[in-house]
Structure 1
């Protein structure tokens, strides 16, 4: 039967169903567990495309249930169009990065700080979608010297519980029951059918199913559903901050999405006083999948 606490290899890539995430996901030791203690970082899996070292690199952070290959085609295109280095990253408990019981933004920020230091990529342009956007915002507020400019994709620095179906997605994923030693196509069809009773949106189901992988004849979820379910309220919230980020900031919103509401704008302006807010028409929450050309054009325009 399907086990949802383990996950390793990905035969598909994010929303665009292309690219490959390989390697086993080790389990990282937990930190002390005391609030206020420095979170223990994990070594993130990443892909780095080469470019001009003199210009700030573009760093892409995916959202909940995603992986670095969500931005594979976009990263290649922007590396060619801008001549910059482009880094795509798997967050902890996602993709090929290690599993950990800690899913706090403090921990995810520390993971990224350590990776940027390791690769010598600061200051960089941080581009984060959804959960990745909150990680990017948190890092920019913590360590503004590491962020040359910031793009938050369809997310804001407030609690997004009211606009998110992610808890329902997790509950649906936990119910999946697939017999051992069935073919990959059969497993995906079975999982899709079981998810369809709880998740009507075909595109969302296909996105979630990119996390269904085969290990030793058994199908498992690659994401660490245990940790994600335990910390979903923390993931949907945003840590309270008093400092602001003075650098150039773009909030890029999907015209068909309700993740960022006008009521969020005062907090956006408080924390990011020079922020621009731009809407991509006919795009939902996953702007980079719905309108990739408009998404890239907005990034290029912001960099100009």
Structure 2
């Protein structure tokens, strides 16, 4: 696990990139032990209780929101979903919205003092919907980013397995950066790739480096067992319709003000957005000129959009 001094080393650069000058808000790593013994971890920004909670997507971690939160300027909580960041992996590898939402609810109850504006990206967006549907008293407003039910939040599974094929640990982070860049990942520059790799990996006691998130290790195992991978893909196909229906049920049950922000080159197509609006005509739908990771590609524009959506609901 990284130390606080290490993991916050990029914040000054992040702040400059979104035009934030002056002193940075205090940021701390918080964690708790869940009833089953797993650890849930998060980042808490600001010197007053959080008013906004951020939930990241598959394969990412709480630090993916750093620039957006700094640009937004609100006291905030960014949770490491189970299986990601400094939160424990699930032994059953059940990383669905319904499985993740109860842990997020536990974190919100522990680390905030008022109902939250919840912002969720991809898998985090579906988790936010499950949260708002199951414990509406915790959510004042829900903003979902570039996902709707029926879209696989782990899209591109074959490419992910190819990227993570091979060893699950490495001699150095530099080798992970080289591999990410070779696959066209990491944000396009070595500096961005180094940040992403640093915050999404850890150095074990034996000095070897491994990815923090469970998906990397699962993908590596599947790459070594193609027959098992094919079986799991078939099972996922069979479950997709059920998960889609469950997701739409969650969307229908959300009583808090609801918005969808999609990337114009992201996962959510215009047809997907139209279906979302058909099912929830009261929801606000906004498109930004980005890909799927809206918060990483355009954190300032996203923060401005969140501010505008929040202001509308506060009138």
TM-score, normalization by structure 1? 0.72
Change in Cα spacing, 1:41 to 1:127, as seen in structure 2 (3 Å) is farther
- Counterpart residue number, 2:257: 248
Q: Distance in 1 between matches of 2:201 and 2:32?
A: 14
Q: Distance in 2 between matches of 1:271 and 1:43?
A: 36
- Alignment length, in residue pairs? 270
Q: Is the 8 A contact 1:245 1:273 kept in 2?
A: no
| 2:78 paired residue among 78, 88, 108 | 88
- Counterpart residue number, 2:210: 220
The gaps in structure 1 that reach 5 residues or longer are 1-7, 30-39
The one-character-per-residue Cα deviations of 1:185-242 (angstroms, maximum 9, x if unpaired) are: 3x3355347xx3xx33452893873433321221212111345778884799545153
**CA apart distance, 1:123:** 1.8
Q: Is the 8 A contact 1:255 1:284 kept in 2?
A: yes
- Counterpart residue number, 1:146: 138
Q: Which has the higher contact order (CA 8 A, sep 6+)?
A: 1
Q: Is the 8 A contact 1:214 1:220 kept in 2?
A: yes
- Output the aligned Cα RMSD: 3.9
Q: Is the 8 A contact 1:130 1:153 kept in 2?
A: yes
Bigger helix share: 2
**CA apart distance, 1:50:** 3.5
Change in Cα spacing, 1:23 to 1:167, as seen in structure 2 (3 Å) is farther
Alignment of 1:1-304 (within 5 A): 8-9=1-2, 42-50=38-46, 57-79=51-73, 84-101=74-91, 102-160=94-152, 164-176=155-167, 182-185=171-174, 187-192=175-180, 196=182, 199-201=183-185, 203=187, 206=193, 209-210=197-198, 211-215=200-204, 216-225=206-215, 226=217, 233=236, 237-238=243-244, 240=246, 241-242=248-249, 243-257=252-266, 259-265=267-273, 267-269=275-277, 272-281=280-289, 283-304=290-311
* SS of equivalent to 2:187: helix
The one-character-per-residue Cα deviations of 1:158-187 (angstroms, maximum 9, x if unpaired) are: 2337x92244213421324766xx4543x3
Q: Distance in 2 between matches of 1:192 and 1:203?
A: 9
Q: Is the 8 A contact 1:68 1:95 kept in 2?
A: yes
* SS of equivalent to 1:256: coil
**CA apart distance, 1:63:** 0.9
Q: Is the 8 A contact 2:169 2:211 kept in 1?
A: no
Q: Distance in 2 between matches of 1:189 and 1:132?
A: 25
Change in Cα spacing, 1:151 to 1:188, as seen in structure 2 (3 Å) is same
Q: Distance in 2 between matches of 1:136 and 1:201?
A: 26
Q: Is the 8 A contact 1:42 1:98 kept in 2?
A: yes
TM-score, normalization by structure 2? 0.70
Q: Is the 8 A contact 1:149 1:247 kept in 2?
A: yes
**CA apart distance, 1:103:** 1.7
Q: Distance in 1 between matches of 2:83 and 2:240?
A: 13
The gaps in structure 2 that reach 5 residues or longer are 16-26, 223-228
